Amino acid sequence: MDLDSLREASRLSPDNTPLLKLLAQAELAALNLENARRTLDALQSAAPSDPWLAQGREELDRMCAKLTGLDQPSSTNQEVPSHPPLVRLPASGNPHPIRSAPTDLSDIDALLADVERKHGSRPQVTFADVGGLESVKEDIRKRILHPLLHPDMYREYGRAAGGGLLLYGPPGCGKSLLAKAIAGEISARWMEVGIHEILDMWMGNSEKNLHALFQKAREQAPCVLYFDEIDALAADRHDMRRSAGRTTINQFLSELDGSTASNEGVLVFGATNSPWHLDPAFRRPGRFDRILFAPPPDEAGREAILQIQLRNRPLAPLDFRKLAKKSEGFSGADLKSVVERACDVVLSESIRSGKPPALISTAHLLDALAKTTPSTKSWFETARNYALHANHDGQYDEILVHLGLRK
Ligand SMILES: Nc1ncnc2c1ncn2[C@@H]1O[C@H](COP(=O)(O)OP(=O)(O)O)[C@@H](O)[C@H]1O
Ligand SMILES: [Mg+2]
Task: Examine residue 392 and state whether it is found in any structural domain, yes or no.
Answer: no
- Say yes or no: 227 and 325 in one domain: no
Q: How far apart are the first and last CA of the chain?
A: 48
Q: Could you tell me the distance, in angstroms and rounded to a whole number, from the CA of residue 175 to the centre of ligand 1? A: 7
Count the neighbouring beta carbons within 10 Å of the beta carbon of residue 143.
13
Q: Could you tell me the distance, in angstroms and rounded to a whole number, from the CA of residue 238 to the centre of ligand 1? A: 28
Long-range CB contacts (< 8 A, 24+ apart) of 402-405?
402/293, 402/295
- CATH number of the domain enclosing 245: 3.40.50.300
C-alpha distances in Å from residue 66, one per residue of 40, 48, 51, 108, 203:
19, 26, 24, 14, 20
Residues with CB under 5 A from ligand 2 (ion): 176
Count the neighbouring beta carbons within 10 Å of the beta carbon of residue 282.
23
Task: Examine residue 111 and state whether it is found in any structural domain, yes or no.
Answer: no
- Say yes or no: 46 and 25 in one domain: yes
> How much is the pLDDT for 32?
76
C-alpha distances in Å from residue 67, one per residue of 36, 37, 60, 95, 394:
14, 15, 10, 14, 54
- Say yes or no: 310 and 279 in one domain: no
At residue 400, φ and ψ (nearest 5 deg) are: -65, -40
> How much is the pLDDT for 42?
87
> How much is the pLDDT for 128?
94
CB 209 within 8 A of CB 107: yes
Q: Which ligand is nearest to the CA of 300?
A: 1
Task: Examine residue 76 and state whether it is found in any structural domain, yes or no.
Answer: no
Q: Is the CB of 179 under 6 A from ligand 1?
A: no
pTM: 0.71
- Say yes or no: 287 and 311 in one domain: no
Task: Examine residue 385 and state whether it is found in any structural domain, yes or no.
Answer: no
Q: Could you tell me the distance, in angstroms and rounded to a whole number, from the CA of residue 228 to the centre of ligand 2? A: 6
Residue 173, class by beta-carbon neighbours within 10 Å (0-12 exposed, 13-18 middle, 19+ buried)? buried
Choosing from 235, 264, 293, the residue where a domain stops is: 293
- Say yes or no: 123 and 233 in one domain: yes
Q: Which ligand is nearest to the CA of 172?
A: 1
Ligand 1 atom nearest 301 alpha carbon: 1
Domain around 49 = 1-67
Task: Examine residue 72 and state whether it is found in any structural domain, yes or no.
Answer: no
Ligand 1 atom nearest 304 alpha carbon: 3
Q: Which residue in 372, 287, 284 sits closest to 335, CA to CA? A: 372
Q: Is the CB of 131 under 6 A from ligand 1?
A: yes
Q: Could you tell me the distance, in angstroms and rounded to a whole number, from the CA of residue 191 to the centre of ligand 1? A: 17
Q: Could you tell me the distance, in angstroms and rounded to a whole number, from the CA of residue 272 to the centre of ligand 2? A: 8
Q: Could you tell me the distance, in angstroms and rounded to a whole number, from the CA of residue 269 to the centre of ligand 2? A: 12
> How much is the pLDDT for 108?
60
Task: Examine residue 59 and state whether it is found in any structural domain, yes or no.
Answer: yes
Choosing from 243, 277, 293, the residue where a domain stops is: 293
Residues of the chain with pLDDT under 70: 1, 64-121, 158-163, 199-204, 234-244
- Say yes or no: 142 and 287 in one domain: yes
Q: Are strands 223-228 and 189-194 parallel, antiparallel or unpaired?
A: parallel
Q: Which residue in 327, 340, 317, 334 sits closest to 366, CA to CA? A: 327
- Say yes or no: 187 and 314 in one domain: no
- Say yes or no: 285 and 329 in one domain: no
Choosing from 293, 312, 346, the residue where a domain stops is: 293
Distance between CA 36 and CA 58 in Å, rounded? 12
> How much is the pLDDT for 370?
97
> How much is the pLDDT for 203?
57
Q: Is the CB of 336 under 6 A from ligand 1?
A: yes
- Say yes or no: 51 and 152 in one domain: no
Distance between CA 46 and CA 38 in Å, rounded? 12
- Say yes or no: 133 and 181 in one domain: yes
Across the chain, what does the average pLDDT equal? Answer: 80
Ligand 1 atom nearest 180 alpha carbon: 17
- Say yes or no: 276 and 314 in one domain: no
Q: How many domains does the chain have?
A: 3
CB 101 within 8 A of CB 36: no
* Furthest-apart CA atoms within the chain: distance in Å: 79
> How much is the pLDDT for 272?
94
- Say yes or no: 123 and 272 in one domain: yes
Task: Examine residue 254 and state whether it is found in any structural domain, yes or no.
Answer: yes
Q: Is the CB of 182 under 6 A from ligand 1?
A: no
Choose the residue to mutate in 336, 341, 375, 376 for probing ligand 1, maximizing ligand atoms within 8 Å of C-beta: 336
Q: Is the CB of 171 under 6 A from ligand 1?
A: yes
CB 341 within 8 A of CB 313: no
Q: Is the CB of 181 under 6 A from ligand 1?
A: no
Task: Examine residue 102 and state whether it is found in any structural domain, yes or no.
Answer: no
